[in-house]
Structure 1
């Protein structure tokens, strides 16, 4: 299946799906820690955008990022810059920041094919992998010479530049 066929196929369909190398992958139901982390992350990103007045937007749940003609992922949150996408658009144009929240059984995909796939897109500057159980953020970003850098954070400030956003890691997770 191609991404264009996939986008037509998911229209109005129940459940959450991704396409990996032409094959459909159904996403598992989420646990409360996962959904709460997604909600708090979207709120933290929106707050950071508001504080600096950045010309970017946050999407979550249901936004598709096209990696290739046969692969499309549905991240847990995405920031993209420029004009706001049309209301009925599912595909996110030129993502800058991509967020995945680890769930049972997703770690290998999130740190393997998704990491490589997201950074194959020239627009992606940051990839955040959140672990709601360990309350950690693995921050990957495009460094000097295109090298992918990595840091693991459990607290304190996190800066995403571009697009020039800053927030505290603690904002991403429910209070203990």
Structure 2
């Protein structure tokens, strides 16, 4: 039972998808409770905790190749931003993104502008670029669903999806009120804003 849930949120919970991709825990809460709760928990050796349909789940660690791919994508973004003279923070530490009352996710790479986040701030509410490296075999439908959730965050302009067994980068970009997706097969990707040319983020490097 979740106390204090509005009728609107209760309806969303009742129609949530029944097929789960992570092993759920018995813990259920809303985002405003999840963030302070998570700050009091020890690190989870099996992965990163997220809130999915108001359930606390652990997003599993996908191993060394995934970690190398994440570092490579972050390095590509950092180099592109520096080359363009754009000041930004590139996070690979499981920075949390609050999407709505029922979802708080921890993407692989987060880029944000402005003053660095204080250490006591539990989540980033103004990401500009998000990148995720998904395990081999992840269905493309699942990728599109994640994009739909992430673009509920008003500041987000670019969402990059890389799959370890796929040479194609899927780029979702927002211009005004429209989000468009495209597949990128070459080695250059232009992100505007902030106006940077991104080197090939695919792993392993081509």
Q: Same fold (TM over 0.5)?
A: yes
Asked if 1:111 is matched to 2:111, the reply is no
RMSD: 1.9
The match for 1:37 is: 69
Contact 1:85 1:93 in 2 (8 A): no
Change (3 A) 1:109 1:5: farther
1:80-136 Cα deviation digits (max 9, x unpaired):
111111134331131111111112575454321x21111111111111011121132
- Structure number with the bigger relative contact order (C-alpha 8 A, sep ≥ 6) is 1
1:121-169 Cα deviation digits (max 9, x unpaired):
11111110111211321001113x5221111123221011111121222
Contact 1:159 1:166 in 2 (8 A): yes
**CA distance, structure 1, for counterparts of residue 71 and residue 134 of structure 2:** 14
**CA distance, structure 2, for counterparts of residue 20 and residue 45 of structure 1:** 28
Change (3 A) 1:106 1:64: farther
The match for 2:102 is: 70
The match for 1:3 is: 31
TM-score, normalization: structure 2?
A: 0.76
Mapping for residues 1-176 of structure 1, pairs under 5 Å: 1-11=29-39, 12-15=41-44, 16-103=48-135, 107=139, 108-112=141-145, 114-143=146-175, 145-169=176-200, 171-175=201-205
Q: How many residues are paired up?
A: 173
TM-score, normalization: structure 1?
A: 0.88
Task: Note the residue ranges of structure 2 that are not aligned, 5 or more in a row.
Answer: 1-28
Three-state SS of the structure 2 residue aligned to 1:95 is coil
